Amino acid sequence: MMYTTQMDAAKKGIITEEMKIVARKENMPEEVLREKISRGVVAIPANRNHKILSPEGVGEGLKTKINVNLGISKDCCDIDEEMKKVQLSIDMKAEAVMDLSSFGKTEEFRKRLISDSTAMIGTVPIYDALGFYDKELQDITSKELIDVVEKHAKDGVDFVTIHAGLNTATANVFKRNKRITHIVSRGGSLLYAWMELNHKENPFYEHFDEILEICQKYDLTLSLGDACRPGCINDATDACQIHELMVLGELTLRAWEKNVQVIIEGPGHMAINEIEANVLLAKKLCHGAPFYILGPLVTDIAPGYDHITSAIGGALAASAGADFLCYVTPAEHLRLPNVDDVREGIIACKIAAHAGDIGKKIPGSRDWDNEMSTARQALNWKRMFELAIDPEKAIRYRKESMPENADSCTMCGKMCSARTMNKIMQGKDLNILRDDS
């Protein structure tokens, strides 16, 4: 039996090879996974032209996935340097890499990314439009914007961010409701500017059916972008953010009717007490579609440390039901991240995702922690390093300050609680002050 997309196959009762791989990774029965994909609550972004992809599932009941943003810009256009970040991301087991390149002819980088990456690849086609056509934004036509989407799909991109929810009605809500940071989404601001300069409807909204046809052709997953995501905690959960979310919910149903998989993108910056409500609202208004969230950053005062503000929000969001976390690096708001920034961002995001999995009770999510706790109590340093989320850093810290007694660390020495309890529980002498071990 033939099928066009993963969702089409799922609705027809077909278990694809991608579904089999994801089911094994998630330790989930294939039929359970197929049923979730058929309802749209799980997506497997897998463009049929991405030949070396190792498929991943995003959505209900699955482990929280993480995405790494990178790409060339006018000030930093070294493709080889970006490819180092790509390889690092794959080595560190990030499930997705998103190419946010915004300068020049980006096709070379995008094609290298797709040919070399086993992780799923995302893009934001409107970033590429100015360089692709070598035109000012106002002069690019609706058709040309849609054509860039098809170009990315044909190249093998697994999911694309399309800001289709910023229609004229949403724009008018934005105009009537003052914000501190206006529209901070790069793609959203470009689209809003295009609409204002040309006095026209958002072409991604107006021609949404054409985009769905492209998605069917290549099995391209739509990541419905949040153009009106808040850029500071003051702007969170306001009228234009919620209006856009309602539009995205309507577009989700239209996509599912055409068997196109959908991921919903979410905020940005948000006070810590609003996170759970926002996740629940997005899931409700968008019919349980997988939820992809940037952070959220829980405070605006920490440039240089936004991988931390993001991880706090990401852990809470994942615990409340968010399915996909976009990493934030220490360089957020300051510059393009370097390789070390990318590493720090990935580690922080992986911690947040894992903490979220524990919170939403993903089967087996506590096993890793229990193994680490067992190794800690046994003072089994080798095993602790093997289990560490960043073994290199853990080993370096240990070597930088070696204790007199190998079964302790330089924080507590022979007063180590684990050492004390191990000896007492085994009926041994404690000998804290004596030189013998």
* Spatial distance between the Cα atoms of 425 and 437, rounded to a whole number of angstroms: 16
Confirm whether residue 348 is marked as ligand binding: no
Confirm whether residue 327 is marked as ligand binding: no
Confirm whether residue 292 is marked as ligand binding: yes
- What the block records as the tokens of 237 is 């959960």
Confirm whether residue 187 is marked as ligand binding: yes
Angle between helices 275-285 and 239-257 (to 10 degrees): 40
Confirm whether residue 286 is marked as ligand binding: no
Long-range Cβ pairs for the range 400-407 (8 Å, 24+): 405/437, 407/379, 407/437
Confirm whether residue 186 is marked as ligand binding: yes
Confirm whether residue 287 is marked as ligand binding: no
Angle between helices 208-218 and 239-257 (to 10 degrees): 50
Q: Say how many CA atoms lie within 13 Å of 235 toward its Cβ.
A: 24
Confirm whether residue 69 is marked as ligand binding: yes
Residue 116 near residue 83, CB atoms below 8 Å: yes
Confirm whether residue 417 is marked as ligand binding: no
Confirm whether residue 228 is marked as ligand binding: yes
Residue 127 near residue 84, CB atoms below 8 Å: no
Confirm whether residue 240 is marked as ligand binding: no
Confirm whether residue 163 is marked as ligand binding: yes
Confirm whether residue 349 is marked as ligand binding: no
Cα 273 from chain centroid (whole Å): 21
SS3 58: strand
Phi, psi angle pair for 182, to nearest 5°: 55, -125
Kindly report the CA angle at 175 between 173 and 178, in degrees rounded to 5?
100
Confirm whether residue 332 is marked as ligand binding: no
Confirm whether residue 98 is marked as ligand binding: yes
Annotated binding site for substrate: 69, 98, 127, 163, 185-187, 226-229, 265, 292
Binding-site annotation, residues: 69, 98, 127, 163, 185-187, 226-229, 265, 269, 292, 333, 409, 412, 416
Q: Residues marked as binding for Zn(2+)?
A: 269, 333
Residues in the annotated binding site for [4Fe-4S] cluster: 409, 412, 416
